[in-house]
Amino acid sequence: MPTSTTRFKIGGMTCSACSAAITNALESTEGVTSASVSVVTETGMVIHDDTAVSVEKLKEVIEDCGFDVVTSDQDSGDDETDFLTKDDEFQRWKLIFIKTIACGIPILLLHHGSSLFKNGWILPNMILQLVLATYLEFWVGSPFLVKFSNFIRSGFKAGSMDVLVAISTMLSYVFSATSIIVTIINKSNQSAHILFDAQVMIISFVSFGKMLESKAKGSTTSALSALISLKPSQCTIFTEYESTTEDAVRDFPTKIVPTEIVQPGDVVLVHAGDKIPADGVVVFGESEIDESMLTGESAPVYKTVGDSVYGGTINGVSTFHFKITTTTNTVLQQIISLVKNAQLSKAPITKYADFLAAKFVPAVLLLAFITFISWLMICLSIPDKLPAIFKNDVNGKLFTCLKLSISVVVVACPCALGLAAPTAVMVGTGVAALNGLLIKGGEVLETAAKTRIVLFDKTGTLTTGEMSVVNCKPMTKLSDSDWWKLIGTVESNSEHPIGVALTKSAKQNLGLTFEGDQFGTLIEDSKVLVGLGIKALITLDGVKYEVMVGNEKLVNTEKMSSDYTVAHVMINGDYSGYIELSDTVQSNASDVIRYLQLRGYVVGMVTGDNRGASMKVAQEVGISPHNVFYEVSPIHKDDVVSDLQSRLGGSNNVTVAFVGDGINDAPALSTADVGIAISSGTDVAINAADIVIMSDLQGVVNALEVSRATFNRIKMNFAWAMIYNVVMLPFAMGCFLPWDILLPPVAASGAMMFSSLSVVLNSLLLKRWKAPKIEPKETFSTDLETGNINDFNLKESSLEEFNDFKNKTKKLRSLISKINQKRTNAAQSYELVATDVS
């Protein structure tokens, strides 16, 4: 079934109940495979069968739920930035708030000053209040009534906080209007029982809260907005360009054009401080480029002729020219796409919130009805033993029962519950992106936060991947030059670090100094043997040779005792020698490994290399020998991950992360609970990975730490939202009236506003997250209390031993937290002493 993905911008959502209603409606539509809707970004993504359902039909489904919708490609980048920052939403609620205050102040003055009016002014007073309240309810408060109408038309499925606001204000209005009409009919000299003040305060508090909330929600998307705004609106291109000599290009004509119209092949003039409009290759000049928004690395990167530059990065102090290679799938566009998808993805913990939100509005309405009937029956049953509020209210017992039910409707807040996870995921993934981490969704954040085992690939991950030949021994009748020509030819098309190193060494031994130099051979039938090596049929001086280069398994030879990576050579079926290669360990690898181990992670290494080379690297970085899996081919690395997952209790008990290069390690990355790929800097859309790191190994620590910080924030938000509703609803229902504790509608609306706003603000605190500083050779004196931090045996330990280890590491993390706090306090004390001395 051919499927396509369509994105929508959806206006009018207020809480997770809205997004859940839209999602359910879309997923129940024939031809829709899946749908995801975010209340924070007000966007939706639908995967559907083009032949079964059209985009227009999908828009109709969303509109039938009562929301405005446009396809997301209808707006420019500037429009999208405005949309994300919620400027329009902020202005809309600001206008509603101002109108409410303009109507509300006269209503409050007339209502609370009614005792000052003489009998002849009572009727005009009430009529004026009714006119102002009518305008307030049906014009100013129309957004709430529209949501209530949608709630009715959807069969009571599209409930939201706005529905509760509409019901509470309508109850206040209808009761007050009816009371005025009855008073007029009866020609009474007494003022009617009016609740217009509650209506005013509810709409005022809610609109003010929504105004602040929209501003806060706009801040949660600031990282994504910053990425989108990196693309400049215009750039300078050469209209003619034939030479790269400095004198020639000075006279070539240029023109300033919108960035949207540039095409591959155009040559762009980039001045100092300019933003680069698209991806390309430098053709003239040199400069230093700020790529921090893409990689998280603050140091500028030197670029000269032949180097790649990326759209959205910022030029330094020099002018250069570059030729555009792509405008449609730039690195920046890939990053923005990944971040958007991540922010639409929901963490598993939100399923509980979505379930509660869907049932929330009907449940609250039922509670309000029960509250009204219960207190009404109590008033009729024991009129002499009622709480003081019923005796002191001059408007009567029915009036008081109604106020209690309105308080229940107003104080309940599904928004806090619905915003708990999306706002935290939004800020968390945005902060991660600004630190060079592309985390693909809320589910990844939640899983990464629970990670206990981290497995690393060796070559290109713990090491630089830039291998060099340290020793060779030809064992053949061929001359050394012919031997190297055959090896260089068979490896010339390989992208593996070993192949690159052997090709380079062959050229050096043959005196071939230029990159384009050939070996004077003809190659055919080249084939990569996964996990073994490479073979090809090569013609040299008119003679055909079958050449194979690879490990011991490929050539079926005895294992060598070597601390280096060994490549064996077979020519025409005969063993023809070997080559030893070394690799350099990443400069911060040992510090990263130590940091993880000290915080309770079990660290292991999985590699296809031989035992000697693997143990040498493991010793350098600090990984225990019993946690090293060597001679494992790329297609079997996932078996190591699967074995750990099944042996240690499955995903409910153990979470395994695998860190690799995203190409050879794709099976392991896919099998792991969290696949972490260290990108080359351009390939950001590594499909097999859950997290893509744009910088170095420090990014592994950063990814795990920001995931834990985000998930902890989600749990805090949920705890606050649940506690708020559990505590406030009994107050609103009058459970504490016997002790003269009352929550009137006005106070209830203020509490409701504070609840949802506090959740958003709590999520925004994630913007203060900073990447941890990894101390070189960090150490803590905790071994005596917790045991050796590196004593868990990944190869042999059982489920019971793993559970014991988890319990032990909880104590370890607690101790480290206390030590870090002491270090912080000591540093602060030192600063104070230094200040006093100075």
CB 422 within 8 A of CB 39: yes
Amino acid in the structure at residue 546: E
Please identify which of the residues 457, 583, 591, 690 carries the catalytic annotation: 457
Counted residue by residue, the chain has a size of 838
Q: How far apart, in whole angstroms, are the C-alpha atoms of residue 196 and residue 147?
A: 21
Question: Among 558, 571, 547, which Cα is nearest to 499's?
Answer: 547
Cα separation, 409 vs 415, whole angstroms: 13
Active-site residue flag, 457: yes
Residue-wise burial string across 670-690, b where 16 or more C-beta atoms lie within 10 A, e elsewhere: ebbbbbbbbbebeebbbebbb
Q: Is 781 helix (H, G, I), strand (E, B) or coil?
A: coil
Detail the DSSP E strand segments found in 295-451: 301-303, 308-309, 314-315, 320-326, 437-439
How many other β-carbons are positioned within 10 Å of the β-carbon of residue 272?
Answer: 12
227: amino acid identity, one letter: L
Nearest to 550 by CA among 608, 606, 510, 607: 608
In angstroms, the Cα distances linking 210 to 203, 221, 315, 426, 754 are 10, 17, 40, 18, 10
d(CA 108, CA 602): 65
Q: Which residues of 567-583 are buried (b: 16+ CB within 10 A; e: fewer)?
A: bbbbbeeeebbbbbbbb
Mutual angle of helices 589-598 and 611-621, in 10-degree steps: 70
User: What is the arrangement of strands in the sheet containing 437-439, beginning at the earlier edge strand?
Assistant: 437-439, 691-693, 674-678, 656-660, 453-457, 602-606, 628-629
Distance CA 499, CA 516 (A): 16
Strands (E), 286-349: 287-290, 301-303, 308-309, 314-315, 320-326
Contact criterion met (CB below 8 Å) for 710 and 424: yes
Distance (Å, rounded) from C-alpha 232 to C-alpha 277?
Answer: 6
So which residues are the catalytic ones? 457
